[in-house]
Every structure is written in structure tokens, then in C-alpha cells.
Structure 1
């Protein structure tokens, strides 16, 4: 049995509670261990969370994949050959990364050591016997493209520039599986996110069966703002083989009560109702194995 644990975001109490529920099984982390965010209602401790996770992963007592926040951190603390940061130190990016910066600094030996561990220890995906882990999007063509260069799914320093500027198919594939798919809304359409910001690009689910913007959209407070029209032809997820193992993802900050939307894939990232999944070998996911983590 494995217990799949989604985004911790520097919350040591959530990590402790999740690991307590995972007792007797192998914890399997979906990434995003760091970066509490400006509106966190808890006291973040990036270093404590990372230390706990690292002890388990390095000892072979837990599985873990890389999240987009780990990937962003790797880029944030390194410069390209032109002397510029691979991830801009803009107000927005610094605000998003604030709890990590406060704990470990910018490009300090500690920050570089931890982000180096992300590179060496956290693959972009994990394919186990009967299950799959990826932070945001399982896309067979994109994973195959990455696997051709990096069979174990682990990135190297020389990959970073093309990931930073998404200048190659390889760089764009890494971005897709760690951050998911976004599409530009039809001309003249937009929506406001949970912070009131006006947006024209929307995240789209790859596991739902819906074919309209409203059906597929994620992280949209009011789906009625979106057009109830068909998605563009460019959004055509690759066919899923009938015998493909179930996939576990985090990343999407889902609202409401944790739930299964499909029996072949589940998003476990519910910030206001943290949850996990106890996988017991089933080929089709079942609601009874989805558990809410008690309030810390």
C-alpha cells in the first residue's frame, strides 16, 4: 500500500498529520514541498518540511516527484550564461517564493544545496507497479520525449536554460507535466481569479470528460464567466489505453469537498480540505480510499 500525499507548501503540521495517517504504508509525495504563499494561515517552515521529506526519500522510505515550485526554485537560484537569473526576481516571483527565501536566502550555499537535491532526488514522474505519480499532468507523448533524453526523469543543470525560456519541445514538455495545460480564452473573454486578477489564460483539466471551456476549466471561481462553447482543436489529450494505471496529481488548488472526478486519475490538492489517498493496488480508484486529513 502507498499513501499519496499532495502539496505540503512548507506546512510542518500538515506534513506531520499526513505522515501519521500514512503509518504502515509507503508515503508517496506529489511535490510542492515549499513556498507557503502570502495568504498562508499557518507558520511556514520550509527547512523543517524539506528535512523531514529528505530523510524519508534518501532512506528509500518514501517516493517523491518534483512539483512546479521545486522547478521554479531551481531556476530562481541560478543564472544563465548571460548572467541573468533563469527565473526572474520579479515582485510576483519573490512574493510566491518568500517563505523559502526567508528561511534559506537567495543563491546562498543552503539554497543551492537544497535546489541541487531537488535535481538529483526528485524525478518529474514516478511509474510504479500499477500506479503513476506526477505533479500536474500525465501526458504520454511529453513524458516519452523527456524520457528519450532523461530515462530516469531527473533533470540536469544543462537542461535548465531551455526549460526557463521554453525554447524547445523538451523545455515545453517539462513545463506541461509540472504546471499543467493552459489555453488562451476566445477573443474578448476573460475571468477573475480568486485574488481578483483578470486572466485570459485558463487551466484545463486533462482527466475530465467535458469538452467545453466550462467543463474543463480549473481554478476558476465563477465558471459562468467562461464561454460554454467547445474547446479549441489544439486541446486534444492523447487517447488513454484502457489498461493504463491510475494517475495521482496535485497542483490545481481544487475547491470544495475532496472527490473523485474519474476512476483513472485524481487531483488531491484541496488547500481548504487537505486530503490523501490510500492506494491498495486497485486498477480503478474508489472514493472510500480518499481521506481528509484532520485539522491540525
Structure 2
């Protein structure tokens, strides 16, 4: 079995990509979890084009596989219109700011931007080789079944994009869940304040914490967990926790804080922006902390 090094969100950081690739097994494969573009505030020298060229070269050489991230989907929609001149993703100041480094490199709706986003459409929403799984934000069996009924290869087509942008159909909602993860509405009478002090009634859920279904243990990005109800998340919230009997799955997306940690033996979130890491998988069914390498 070929060893695989899983690399999470790069976000136009060429230095992070270089360090991540330096940690790979030279005789093995590389697997990318998406979000190659759109530099965050911590990236002093955004390099969207360099990162994309290096990743694409590895994929086309058969040295790597990759799945789509939500930033790739956002870019696909940002640079395309509905045929009436309206962008499929709003080009409002908030979205434009998030997408700035890509637009600085390629422009808006240009041939170069469309060419790269066309390549993004060749990235599947998930990969499952039987021994391990890759998805950007959430492995949801039900969502994968919905998408697979139309797109067995897990790849979006041009004719799906208007529907996906509207986020109303079951297909569009399934795509969104795979790329952004689940949120659940808190029970009546409960809310919490996020890091910016904004009052929230929905919480992001760490669906990979199969044994931690209490709100206070399963919710992500809650500054004060005591604001949450001290009770189990019920099936009414529609959260699909990952079974402990499933194959190992790797995700990025969530901007975790603290020391990178294997929280569940068959599922790992690798996106730690302040402490970048990769996972060197060697065929194990139970993930181990020692294979989680800081870069």
C-alpha cells in the first residue's frame, strides 16, 4: 500500500506549501484537502498562482490527488454569471475581500480566472479509496448519496452551478454541507456570543467527535461553552456524526486552534492555521498522534 501524506488548506501560502511538501514521503502520494487560494491576513506574500501551478503539476503527474474546497467553489461562482450579467456569487465588499489575492493574481472574470476555475471543476467533492477518505469539510453519507445520484464521480458540472449558487435544492444543500460542514440551531432559549461578540443561534458542529454529542463538547468556535445547553444534540438538529466503524477520514476547513490533535481514532481535522501540520498515513485503520507532523 502506498503511503499518503495529507495536506490541508494552503490558502495561497507558498512557504506553507513548500514546508508541507518537504514533510511528505518521497516514495508515497500526496493528498490535498482543497482551499489552495485566497490568502488570509497572516500570509504576507500571497502566491495564488505559484501554489496552483505546483499543486496542479503534482496532480497531473499522478503524484497527488486533490478534492475541492469551499474557496474553490466560491471562486467558480464568483467569476461566472447567470447569463444576465449577475455573478453567481455576489461580488460585494465582504466576498471581494476574502477573494482578493486570487483576483489580484488573475483579475475578475478574465480568461485566466475562468481557466483556473475550470480546473477547479475537475476536483471531486470527495474521494474514497476504501482505505481512507478525503473531503474538505464534512463526510456525510446522506449528502454523498444525493450528489452521487446525479454525479457518480463527485464532480460538479457547469449546468449545476446556478442551482448550487441558489442553495435551495437538496443537491445544492448536499454540496454545501460537504464543503462547509454542518451547523445546528440551538434549542429554544439558548444562544452564544462568537469571538466578535455577535449573538449566534446556530453553532458549527464537530461531526467527527462521534462520542461527544453534548452541545458543549461538539460545538466549534464557541468562546464560552457554558453559554450552550448542557444536553445531547438530538436527531432533530439533523447532525450526522461519523460512525466509529467507518474508514479513516481527513478534513480541513475549520481553522482549529491549539496543538494539532487526533481527536477521534478514525477522523482527523488537519486545518490548524497557526500550527501547520500534515498527516503521514501508512495504511493504519486507527489514526495515531505520532503521524501528525508539524511543518
Q: TM-score category by the smaller chain?
A: over 0.9
CA RMSD of aligned residues (A): 1.6
In structure 2, the CA distance between the partners of 1:194 and 1:11, relative to structure 1 (3 Å rule), is farther
Q: Structure 1 residue 162: deviation in Å?
A: 1.2
Mapping 1:225-236, distance limit 5 Å:
225-232=227-234, 233-236=236-239
Pairing partner for 1:88 from 90, 97, 100: 90
Aligned to 1:267: 269
TM-score, length basis structure 1:
0.93
In structure 2, the CA distance between the partners of 1:22 and 1:179, relative to structure 1 (3 Å rule), is same
Cα distance in 2 for partners of 1:10, 1:271 equals: 12
Cα distance in 2 for partners of 1:93, 1:197 equals: 19
> Where do 5+ consecutive residues of structure 1 fail to align?
none
Cα distance in 2 for partners of 1:117, 1:91 equals: 26
TM-score, length basis structure 2:
0.93
Cα distance in 2 for partners of 1:290, 1:222 equals: 28
Report the 3-state secondary structure (helix = DSSP H, G, I; strand = E; otherwise coil) of the residue aligned with 1:278. Answer: strand
- Is 1:32 the counterpart of 2:40? The answer is no
Is 1:213–1:230's contact at 8 Å kept on the other side of the alignment? Answer: yes
Cα distance in 1 for partners of 2:84, 2:187 equals: 37
The worse-fitting range, judged by mean Cα deviation, of 269-278 and 144-153 is 144-153
Cα distance in 2 for partners of 1:241, 1:229 equals: 21
Aligned to 1:8: 10
Report the 3-state secondary structure (helix = DSSP H, G, I; strand = E; otherwise coil) of the residue aligned with 1:229. Answer: coil
The worse-fitting range, judged by mean Cα deviation, of 219-228 and 59-68 is 219-228
- Is 1:181 the counterpart of 2:182? The answer is yes
Matched pairs, number: 290
> Where do 5+ consecutive residues of structure 2 fail to align?
none
In structure 2, the CA distance between the partners of 1:190 and 1:161, relative to structure 1 (3 Å rule), is same
Give deviations 1:65-113, integer Å, cap 9, x for gaps.
0000101110111111443211111111111111111111111111111
Is 1:219–1:253's contact at 8 Å kept on the other side of the alignment? Answer: no
Mapping 1:137-148, distance limit 5 Å:
137-148=138-149
